[in-house]
Amino acid sequence: MLQARSQGLFVDWADAQRRIKGLGPAKAKRLSDHGLRINGQAWPAPKPATSP
């Protein structure tokens, strides 16, 4: 994670997931629950399904 961060700030969670091997949704949520923020944002909660 530190090596990816040394390449520059993460723009958003998707950017972090692209640059950090093994950072999937479950790990991202866990880190966010412990206070990690990327560009001031917590891990996004899944959006509820919408009916057509």
Give the pLDDT of residue 11.
92
Indicate the pTM of the whole model. Answer: 0.74
Residue 43 to residue 25: CA distance in whole angstroms: 8
Residue 14 to residue 44: CA distance in whole angstroms: 10
3-class DSSP assignment, residue 6 = helix
Q: How many CB atoms lie within 10 A of CB 28?
A: 20
Residue 29 to residue 43: CA distance in whole angstroms: 6
Give the pLDDT of residue 26.
95
pLDDT tens sequence across 2-33: 778 778 889 999 999 999 999 999 999 999 99
What percentage of residues in the chain have a pLDDT greater than 70? 85
Note whether 23 and 12 are within 8 A (CB). no
Give the pLDDT of residue 45.
67
